[in-house]
Amino acid sequence: MATGKKDISQEKSGDSEKRTEVVPFAFDLKQMYSFDPKEAVPDISLIRYSNLAYINVSHRDVHIDFLEMPGIKKEGKMYIPGTRIYMTHAAAQRLVQALGAILEDLAAKGIMEKYQEKEQ
């Protein structure tokens, strides 16, 4: 178990003396977050459908807004339900590689819906 140490000091103010003692942490973060990969079970608590995504990249991270179009009209405005996912640049690169490989495989097998741009 990891221990944290507070500074041990003595202060004299008049006749009273204050002393701070070593206090052990109640938990070990390394132990809390370590696990055997065989124990990992995805816990999908929210499922949403998306047919449109906006992607924004900053110098720190990537976020993708997954939107459900066309939305719902309320009080004269169109509300579009969505979910924002933040990820590191490395995670975004892995996502692009994985999606690219999966979609190429489906396209090669002829079992993928084809996206066709409108001609202008």
Residue 70 within a domain: yes
Residue 14 within a domain: yes
Residue 2 within a domain: no
Residue 4 within a domain: no
Residue 102 within a domain: yes
> What was the pLDDT predicted at 23?
64
Residue 18 within a domain: yes
Residue 120 within a domain: no
> What was the pLDDT predicted at 6?
47
Residue 15 main-chain phi, psi, to 5 deg: -95, -10
Residue 91 within a domain: yes
> What was the pLDDT predicted at 1?
47
| Number of structural domains found in the chain | 1
pLDDT tens series, the chain, 120 aa: 444 544 444 545 555 566 777 666 677 778 888 888 888 898 999 999 999 999 999 999 999 999 999 999 999 999 999 999 999 999 999 999 999 999 999 999 989 887 777 776
Q: Could you give the CA distance from residue 57 to residue 93 in angstroms, rounded to a whole number? A: 12
For 30, the domain range is 10-109
| Owner of token pair 């720190």 | 60
Q: Helices marked H in the chain — which ranges?
A: 29-33, 89-109
Strands 16-19 and 82-87: unpaired
